[in-house]
Amino acid sequence: MKPRAKLLAIVGSQRVDGNSYFLAKTVLESAKADYEIIQLADKKIEFCNICEKCINSDCVLEDYFNNIFEKIKGADGIVFVLPKYIFVASKFVCFLERLATINHMRKHAGYEITFKNPEYRLFSGKKLSCIFVASGTGKVEKETLRIVAEYIEDLGLRLVRHDQQPFLGVSVKAGDAKGEILENKKGIENCKKLAEKLIDSITK
């Protein structure tokens, strides 16, 4: 029997047990995979201070970042579950910036413009899918997706896409109240399909 895929969902909301978390939990509970969900909301994530030490070592800041970094390395597939907060929630941007800085430092051997290791990618080929949550008015495709897509490419993550618009992932409408997303049955089904596609891409 093939081993089950190990998925890691990173929930980018800034409130604990918000709609993004409920969505992640509902989708992953029914997935044929082992999974862990991390909520950035209750984790300490500092800003990068550009010390450049990550050229040769782990990040030296003492917060929860390295735990997540190790969990990403150990997972077969990653799911970003991101609420639209104007563009992207700032704590999630901070987290992405930390990953992107390590990537940059190793690719350029420091805070330089020249490429020392042009092919370097922190997570070369690791599979990722994205789920976006918005209260309804947001242009997720133009605003949230565009920003996240730049980071994904740079980090070498391989995006497993949805087959319907907005294609880079699934966009699910929720209200603002915690748990309201559970009323959007169609959105949840779409997310489950994407999760299946991600698992298939890992196990087949």
Ligand X SMILES: Cc1cc2nc3c(=O)[nH]c(=O)nc-3n(C[C@H](O)[C@H](O)[C@H](O)COP(=O)(O)O)c2cc1C
- Interface residue list for ligand X (CB under 6 A): 13, 15, 18-20, 83-86, 133-138, 174, 176, 178
Q: Which of 106, 111, 146, 110 is nearest to 124 (CA)?
A: 106
CB of 80 to ligand X, least distance (A): 12
Answer yes or no: are the C-beta atoms of 130 and 79 closer than 8 Å: yes
Nearer to ligand X, 15 or 161 (CB): 15
Q: In the structure encoding, which two tokens stand for residue 163, read together?
A: 């087959």
CB of 185 to ligand X, least distance (A): 16
Name the packing angle between helices 65-74 and 90-108 (round to 10°).
Answer: 70
Question: Which two three-digit tokens encode residue 100?
Answer: 């992107």
CB of 73 to ligand X, least distance (A): 26
Report the nearest approach of ligand X to the CB of residue 35 (Å).
Answer: 18
- Using the Cα atoms of residue 192, residue 193, residue 198 and residue 203 in order, give the sign of their dihedral: positive
54 or 81: CB nearest ligand X: 81
By beta-carbon distance, which residue lies closest to ligand X?
Answer: 18
For ligand X, the closer of residues 37 and 122 by Cβ is 37
